Amino acid sequence: MPKLLQKRGLEPGREFDRRARLILADIQKSLMPEHGSDIVCINVETGEYALGATSRDAQRAFERRWPHAFFFQIRVDGGPVVKFHGM
């Protein structure tokens, strides 16, 4: 396991993703459908989150509250934050 993850007490990628999606399911109960297209940054360690209209807004709100924490970013409805439309 990478040293950074050991220091922070975080799990490897798959476990981090699994926990984030469980927290998202709880968040969706209270925020859907009004905030379905908003972006949420989830603090997987604490279960808390920051919400924003754009990915940058959500990220800034998250970093103000938890400046050194990792976050999981997704739309509240579970959709992608950014869409790639190719060439």
What's the pLDDT tens digit per position in 12-71?
Answer: 688 899 999 999 999 999 999 999 999 999 999 999 999 999 999 999 999 999 999 999
Any domain includes 28? yes
Report how many domains make up the chain: 1
Global pTM reads 0.80
* Contacts made by residues 58-61, CB under 8 angstroms, sequence distance 24+: none
> Between the CA of residue 67 and those of 33, 43, 59, what are the distances in Å?
29, 11, 10
Any domain includes 57? yes
Any domain includes 80? no
Any domain includes 40? yes
Task: Using alpha carbons, select from 1, 83, 73 the residue that is nearest to residue 38.
Answer: 73
